[in-house]
Structure 1
Amino acid sequence: MDIETKKKELIDTYYFRHATKEFDPTRKISDDDFRFILETGRLSPSSGNNEPWKFLVVQSPEFRKELAPLASGAIRQLPTASHFVLILARKGLTHSNPYLVKHLTEDNGMPLEIYQSLAPAYAQFYNDLHLDTERALLDWSSKQTYLAMGNMMTAAAHIGIDSCPMEGFDLDAVNELLNKKGLLGDDEFSLSVMVAFGYRKENPKRPKKRLPLEEIVQFV
């Protein structure tokens, strides 16, 4: 396939994608297709290759009903989506965080002495980004979850599957529910964002509109 065809296919994918408010509840995503979508999330970039995320796929109708009163932004998606995902962000990712030490040394193969020698560089990095509070560290992780979510939504659209990202939820209440269900680890995670996948009930009523490139791009 030549590069122009590849470019057109990808642009067509972006035109296909839209924030689907209501899905066709009779159509389900195949296991193989949804694993493909999850794989694009897994392979997404993250700062320092920290992979500060966890994907909770909520398929239980009972669980979705519990979520509904806590997520006003998902009131139509929760009962109709084929797959509903809560993306969690990992908390407290400082240089000494046990997860980060294990992940980068054991999982990624960095020698421990090399990792330890990078402590000053990490300290400078945290200082430059003002990552000096628990909230700042959580926000840093949450920003990275959006990279994974964006890739998953694009991948879904590329194979004709719809999606909708959502922030309309009571963060504290949903975290409390997840904690009661033992889904946040030992206070390791917090909810970052929700995203639903499925097949649109109807086509968008109007074509996609975006500002022209000339208004949003400046070469300097």
Structure 2
Amino acid sequence: MHKDQIIEAYQFRHACKEFDAAKKITTEDFDFIMETARLSPSSFGFEPWNFLVLQEPTLREKLLPVAWGAQKQLPTASHFVIVLARTKQEMAADSEYIQHMMKDTQELPENVVQQKGAAYDHFLKNDFSVFDDERVMFEWASRQTYIALGNMMTSAAMIGIDSCPIEGFAKEKVEDILAAEGLLDRERFGVACMVAFGYRKNEPRAKTRQAKEEIIRFIG
């Protein structure tokens, strides 16, 4: 793509508050969006995420009372995704999940597994000092899911699909509903954010952003 086409996609993207419920994203296009999430980078390459694509109307209805920021998106979005982040016990250096990632997914030799595991453990406990607090560990994992979130929204915009990232919800109540439905193991995952995809019902107002001089500083 040309640079001006990429900027055009960023200009096109906005937080779509209401979608045209009659327009559905094709399987091919949504698979493309989700593939950009799957290919997203993460700290140490440990991919601390899962994605729940909620297409069941009754489940979306159950979420409405506890998701004030998705009142128009839940009923109208073509696809609605809940982004999950892994918990402290999942992200500990010696956890089954992290060991699986290094040995089976990354296919590292045993000596590298030991070295990388030790470096990762030091990072958690010393460099970033996140390991002592369960919520801080979850928020650290959640921050990484936002990399995938951004990539999903950008890739959608590049093919003319609208999106809306959503944090307006009662986290514990959403998790209660998902757990009751058998969709969430709270020992392993928590809800990081939500994102809706579809086609806009109304045109948005002009995009507003600070000037680059206000936010970018070149040193040297």
Aligned residues: 215
Which of 58, 61, 74 is equivalent to 1:62?
Answer: 58
User: How far off its partner does 1:186 sit?
Assistant: 6.2
Which segment is superposed worse, 61-70 or 109-118?
A: 109-118
Are 2:113 and 1:115 aligned? yes
Q: Structure 2 matches for 1:174-189, cutoff 5 A? A: 174-185=174-185, 187-189=187-189
The CA RMSD over aligned residues, in Å, is 1.1
Give the secondary structure class of the aligned counterpart of 2:152: helix
Using the TM superposition, give the Cα deviation of residue 167 of structure 1 relative to its aligned residue in structure 2, in angstroms. 0.3
Shift of 1:122: 2.0
Structure 1 residue 151 displacement after superposition: 0.2
| Contact kept? 1:130, 1:136, Cα under 8 Å | no
Question: Which whole-Å CA distance do the structure 2 matches of 1:64 and 1:141 have between them?
Answer: 25
Q: Shift of residue 73 of structure 1?
A: 0.3
Structure 1 segments (4+ residues) deviating >4 Å: none
TM-score, normalisation: structure 1: 0.95
Unaligned runs of 5+ in 2: none
| Structure 1 counterpart SS, 2:97 | helix
Report 1:72-151 matches (<5 A): 72-92=68-88, 93-126=91-124, 127-132=126-131, 133-151=133-151
Aligned-partner SS, 1:118: helix
Preserved contact between residue 19 and residue 163 of structure 1 (Cα < 8 Å): yes
Deviates most, 39-48 or 127-136: 127-136
State the TM-score, normalizing by the size of structure 2. 0.95
Q: Distance in 1 between matches of 2:50 and 2:142?
A: 11
In structure 2, the partner of 1:197 is 197
| Deviation at residue 137 of structure 1 after TM alignment | 1.2
